[in-house]
Structure 1
Amino acid sequence: MTLIRHGHRGQNVRQLQQQLNRAGAELYVDGHFGDATEAAVRAYQRRVGLVADGIAGPKTLATLSGAGSQHMLNHSMLQAVAQRLDVELAAIYAVNEVESAGQGFLGNGKPVILFERHIMHRQLRTPRSDEDDAAALQVHADELAALHPNLVNPRPGGYAGGTAEHQRLANARLLDDTCALESASWGAFQIMGFHWQRLGYASVQAFVSEMEAGENQQFDAFARFIETDPALLKALRTKRWATFAKFYNGPAYQRNLYDVKLERAYQRHAQEHAA
């Protein structure tokens, strides 16, 4: 994923500065991404409705090259979620920057997904009503695991990545549509399908339709995920980044420095939004 940000130097920065100038900026083209270039990126992002984070990522570069932004996450959505959750806007910008995969869609227009075969195995053997026979469901799940180990398996793995994940999902849907959709993570924030009921969607199919509609809908699902977890929401409101990272990313958050990245992103955005 291409990210051009403050402090970078080189030909790609020169090209960015030239594109910004064609879009109305008045930058000295020197190949150095300094304060003036960052301000020009933010100004352009605000003008076209993108998240104004001052980072020239794939979406900013795409719109500079003429692509439409109708399916891209926009600043107004982040503002609305900040108000809805009663969270500082800079904090919302920080979690979007650090926790997002950057883009919610692949080059072919399909949402970013990752199919989890071990979740498929779990969902197949989970009773959904009083009439369900747990033992029979377990036998059925194990039978499918024996026949299709890449799609149903007690162990994680089998990942293909990118567009190939959609083929895995399509094959899994032939076994059980609902369980398959519940067993994939969706969009820029990789929200698992099995959360659909907690998040207030009518069905997993309805959840998936929203994830396919645009990045604003994907961010709404992320907001619902935070909103329905009181501890996570409290950590975000109070900007306790280590606690937030632990709840959202799991115990490995320290190894990946999620809390440090969140704190740094927050400080940068707080400074900008205070200006």
Structure 2
Amino acid sequence: MTPVLKAGDHGTNVGTLQQRLKAAGYLVNQTNVYDEATERAVMGLQRANGLVIDGIYGQKSFMALVGACQPKHLGAQDLQAAADRLGLPLATVRAVNEVESRGQGFLPDGRPVILFERHVFYKRLQEHGVDPAPIALQSPTICAQQVGGYQGGAGEYIRLEIAKHTHIAAAYEAASWGAFQIMGYYWKMLGYASVQDFVYSMQRDEAGQLDAFVRFVEHEAPMLAALKAKKWAAFAKLYNGPAFARNLYDAKLAAAYAKYAELDEVAA
């Protein structure tokens, strides 16, 4: 997996990146420090390949650098469309994308990133009229009243597939999907025809995953109001829950917004 590198980082991974950028024609020197010249070069690479321009080097930028950019990746035009739809400055949407998304909506094998929640599966089974108790007794890793059992990465699909043998819709509803970690059980609230329709959208591309996030914010008026007022703590609490401060989500959002607002001002 390509390491994520950003301004201020240093080490041999940064030096390797600088070598690759220089070989590709970008004006950088190998200093082993992710300096302003390196950040500008990465942003130039992202701009040339239609990626989100954030100056952060990760899997998508690596693929662009080696000529393997994927059509499923989120583009700058997708963020602009989301900003227009929500009536927000582009810098706000760029900040949320940097801080609140996983950064990569798909696994290396092309499947969308998911996180299967066994405690949600327990509840969704009840909603569908299925007694979860026997399933929890037999398969506690996929069905339980407690949070946990995570495998991470592709391992989450093993749990999902086991759950689907019990109830397909409940299994899909019990997972969070894509870069923005939208729970499947929101499908009806967000205007999808079915949970399968929601999942197809998550599988299609990151633009579909961003669309789900936009629908979510549109539905949650206090969340949209917080973004419009740049009340980062209020938004972070609504989006992440009361533990948001532990991960400094509000501070990260404020810093990211300031960065992108300045970049957008320079570009204008």
Q: Structure 1 length as normaliser, TM-score?
A: 0.92
**What residue ranges of structure 1 are gaps of 5+ in the alignment?**
128-136
Which of residues 156, 176, 181 in structure 1 aligns to 2:172?
A: 181
Match of 1:103 in 2: 104
Match of 2:243 in 1: 252
Letter in 1 for 2:166: L
Q: Distance in 2 between matches of 1:188 and 1:219?
A: 8
Asked if the contact 2:45/2:64 (under 8 Å) is kept, the reply is: no
Matched, 1:68 2:69: yes
SS in 2 for 1:162: coil
Mapping 1:166-205, distance limit 5 Å: 166-205=157-196
Q: What's the CA shift string for 1:67-109, capped at 9, x where partnerless?
A: 2221111110000000000001111110000001121111221
Letter in 2 for 1:236: L
Letter in 1 for 2:63: A
Asked if the contact 2:27/2:37 (under 8 Å) is kept, the reply is: no
Q: Distance in 2 between matches of 1:8 and 1:175?
A: 46
Match of 1:215 in 2: 206
SS in 1 for 2:132: helix
Percent same amino acid among aligned pairs? 47
Q: How many residues align?
A: 265
Asked if the contact 2:60/2:69 (under 8 Å) is kept, the reply is: no
Letter in 2 for 1:35: E
Matched, 1:268 2:259: yes
Q: Distance in 2 between matches of 1:6 and 1:268?
A: 12
RMSD of Structure 2 on Structure 1 (CA): 1.4
Match of 2:229 in 1: 238
Asked if the contact 2:72/2:206 (under 8 Å) is kept, the reply is: yes
Q: Distance in 2 between matches of 1:30 and 1:202?
A: 53
Matched, 1:126 2:146: no
Asked if the contact 1:50/1:69 (under 8 Å) is kept, the reply is: no
Q: Structure 2 length as normaliser, TM-score?
A: 0.94
Q: What's the CA shift string for 1:172-202, capped at 9, x where partnerless?
A: 0110000010000111111100000111111
Letter in 1 for 2:65: L
1:18 CA drift (Å)? 2.3
1:146 CA drift (Å)? 2.3
